[in-house]
């Protein structure tokens, strides 16, 4: 989205619930270099668990294997075979739609990695939301804790799982910029 002449933003970072009176010089943006370190698509994940065709929540619970189920939230949790212990693919059924999310476990093995859940297709929707939780967010009655959750937002009806990409990046060269430094870079 264009912000000013010659300045385009590809990602937005938002900090919620900042207390009134916070010294913005105490806030920082942490930046890393990243190299692709693995990728798969959601179709590979759901097929690994037995997903075939279009499934509602009840049919998915009955048909899929090696999954965790939250019947109250109508969510299904699936391991990602080539990223074991790092992330889980979540599918939840809301009134009239299905949301696809990627939950990242908050442990030392994921601290130096970044993840992306996106749609890679011609004309595909790339509106994504990532939430960072400190402390980690409990799911399934506390059986799982997620430090980050990525969600595809406003996914067009009929978007195939094969077009939903899960990408892992190895991070290096961390740098921290306070708000004053960031605004100086932009100005």
**Residue 132's pLDDT is what?**
87
* Euclidean distance between CA atoms 78 and 13, whole angstroms: 28
pLDDT digits (tens, 9 = 90+) for 122-170: 555 566 788 888 899 999 999 999 999 999 876 777 788 999 999 999 9
Distance of CA 164 to the CA centre of its chain: 12
Q: What is the reported pTM?
A: 0.85
Positions of the chain with pLDDT under 50: none
* Euclidean distance between CA atoms 130 and 15, whole angstroms: 12
Which residues, 6+ apart, have CB-to-CB distance to 141 below 8 Å? none
**Residue 28's pLDDT is what?**
84
**Residue 43's pLDDT is what?**
96
Enumerate the domain spans of the chain: 33-180
**CB neighbours (10 Å) of residue 26?**
8
């Amino acid at each position: 989205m264009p912000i000013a002449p010659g300045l385009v933003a590809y990602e937005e970072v938002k900090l919620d619930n900042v207390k009134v009176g916070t010294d913005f010089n105490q806030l920082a943006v942490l930046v890393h270099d990243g190299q692709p370190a693995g990728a798969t698509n959601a179709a590979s994940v759901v097929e690994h668990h037995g997903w075939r065709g279009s499934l509602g929540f009840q049919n998915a619970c009955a048909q899929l294997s090696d999954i965790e189920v939250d019947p109250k939230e109508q969510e299904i949790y699936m391991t990602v075979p080539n990223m074991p212990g790092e992330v889980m693919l979540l599918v939840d059924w809301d009134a009239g739609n299905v949301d696809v999310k990627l939950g990242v476990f908050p442990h030392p093995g994921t601290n130096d990695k970044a993840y992306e859940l996106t749609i890679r297709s011609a004309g595909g929707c790339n509106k994504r939301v990532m939430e960072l939780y400190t402390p980690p967010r409990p799911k399934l009655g506390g059986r799982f804790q997620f430090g980050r959750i990525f969600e595809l937002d406003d996914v067009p009806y009929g978007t195939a799982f094969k077009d939903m990409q899960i990408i892992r990046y190895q991070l290096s060269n961390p740098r921290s910029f306070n708000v004053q430094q960031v605004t100086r870079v932009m100005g």
